[in-house]
């Protein structure tokens, strides 16, 4: 039987081969993972007032440029908060749909 001996050059070649195999395995494992973000939706109940209010953008210290916005609250006994128009995606006013 023939004896196999590893010299320094053979060991370097084996190390290079193991590194390549490891890199290919990492690439295959990362390609198979599901990194795509899932669509997320959340159903919340909000109250929107028929009356609007005015608010000011951050940095308008002199209150020179008021912006009209809607009033919303997140609970029946909560406080009204200003919210810019168009903030609620897919919001439809029930009165307009009739």
Give me the phi and psi of 6, to 5 degrees please: -100, 120
Q: Which two tokens stand for residue 57?
A: 């953008």
Give pLDDT < 70 ranges for the chain.
1-9, 32-37, 90-98
Distance CA 91, CA 33 (A): 35
Cβ-contact 70, 55 below 8 angstroms:
no
What pLDDT is attached to residue 34?
Answer: 67
In 63-88, which positions are buried (b, 16+ CB within 10 angstroms) versus exposed (e)? eeeeeebbbbeeeeeeeeeebeeeee
């Amino acid at each position: 039987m023939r004896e196999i001996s590893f010299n320094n050059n053979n060991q370097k070649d084996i190390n290079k081969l193991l590194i390549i195999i490891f890199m290919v395995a990492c690439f295959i494992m990362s390609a198979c993972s599901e990194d795509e973000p899932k669509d997320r939706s959340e159903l919340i109940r909000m109250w929107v007032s028929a009356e609007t209010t005015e608010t000011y953008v951050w940095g308008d210290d002199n209150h020179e440029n008021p912006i009209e916005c809607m009033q919303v609250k997140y609970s029946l006994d909560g406080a009204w908060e200003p919210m810019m128009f168009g903030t609620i995606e897919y919001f439809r006013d029930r009165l307009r749909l009739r």
